[in-house]
Structure 1
């Protein structure tokens, strides 16, 4: 019962990271296939998965095609009720689903101005008012989840859930652009940065080569936290 998961360049593809974490963190069987998101070959490589045209895309063992990260997540919840993809407590589950959906559909300023990448930290990046507004809302959601349901672990709801999957690339953006957040948010970001699954993803990402660099910036840079020292 092995799923087929199609992902793009690990260094830049935030949605691919989400798709991969759903399988990796919850020990669901999968084979990963890397497609050329930035090389421009991905459409041909996804052609057999109609109507897929973006990553991540997944195929169930029966051959059903899933073309969106939230669709993949909800299908896994449906197919694997024995796996704690969301919290079991009804109130926590409702909040987790709500903030996951908000991440999936929102925060366009943060996404647009701060593309995810994992190579280094930019120094001197000046976030716009829209990015700061997105960060304020994200911190509010994180704090609410932690206050109500997150006392028993480092994650939003104590134990790792799909909510953490969907906010993992936000943690990477906060890191890469050195974005201003409070101490509680920094602790949560640190949990992602030290997570063994993410460290595995980043090791593979650092083997990738990109010429030209997709998101050039006229800024200084310093090492990614795990590369420093």
Structure 2
């Protein structure tokens, strides 16, 4: 087994696993991927078996005998250990802005999470969502437009070059896609850019091959 082991859940459904995995791939870290199907008998025991020093949650990162868990902690660890990957923007205030939107994504948007779970097997026609979900989506659009207005000259991602901010919003794209949520031109352009990220495409292709399904959510 590799020195670095990233433990993840179902690629079709696990939004936090997607974030951790994308960050690991973008960092350039060499790692072994261990996927533990969630919501199945024995999954907690399997998670502890793979990474004994971490709680039975996904994602978790095993580095030798040490463990890092919680997606944000994993991302910060990767940014520190692999500075050449520039997972955060280099400019001080741009980096602070990126950390701010990541922190907001990490702790907010509960209505969207509850009513529109990540499911890469779902593609529904658009229908109006609950008011609090629409408010979450409106705020996300506001973040995207603000970032693109400030940093579009540096590249096509939220802060110009790919960063952890894009990693944290990647599962949101799946939620919006699954419910055919309409987007304005700026948000659609950003959506299309991140959707085409090769690592994101690779994740979705792998998700399509999964045999495990979750129907009770």
Question: TM-score under structure 1 normalisation?
Answer: 0.87
- Counterparts of 1:1-229 in structure 2 under 5 Å? 2-48=3-49, 49-60=52-63, 62-211=64-213, 213-215=215-217
The alpha-carbon distance between structure 1 residues 172 and 79, as it changes in their structure 2 partners (threshold 3 A), is same
Secondary structure of the structure 2 residue equivalent to 1:137: helix
**After the TM superposition, which of the residue ranges 108-117 and 192-201 deviates more from structure 2?**
192-201
Query: Any idea what the Cα deviations from partners look like across 1:3-42, whole Å, max 9, x if unmatched?
Result: 2100000001111100100111232211100002132432
Secondary structure of the structure 1 residue equivalent to 2:155: coil
Q: Cα RMSD between the aligned structures?
A: 1.7
Question: TM-score under structure 2 normalisation?
Answer: 0.92
The separation in 2 between residues aligned to 1:124 and 1:149, in whole angstroms, is 30
Q: Which runs of 4+ in 1 moved over 6 A?
A: none
**After the TM superposition, which of the residue ranges 155-164 and 35-44 deviates more from structure 2?**
35-44
- Report the number of matched residues: 214
The separation in 1 between residues aligned to 2:59 and 2:160, in whole angstroms, is 26
Query: Any idea what the Cα deviations from partners look like across 1:125-159, whole Å, max 9, x if unmatched?
Result: 43111111101111111112111223222210111
Extract unaligned runs of 5+ from structure 2.
Answer: none
Query: Any idea what the Cα deviations from partners look like across 1:55-83, whole Å, max 9, x if unmatched?
Result: 101112x3221120001011112222232
The alpha-carbon distance between structure 1 residues 125 and 50, as it changes in their structure 2 partners (threshold 3 A), is farther
Query: Any idea what the Cα deviations from partners look like across 1:174-213, whole Å, max 9, x if unmatched?
Result: 1111123322111111112222111111111111123563
Offset at residue 122 of structure 1 (A) = 0.9
Structure (1 or 2) with the greater helix fraction: 2
CA contact 2:141–2:187 (8 Å) conserved in 1: yes
Extract unaligned runs of 5+ from structure 1.
Answer: 216-229
The separation in 2 between residues aligned to 1:45 and 1:36, in whole angstroms, is 9
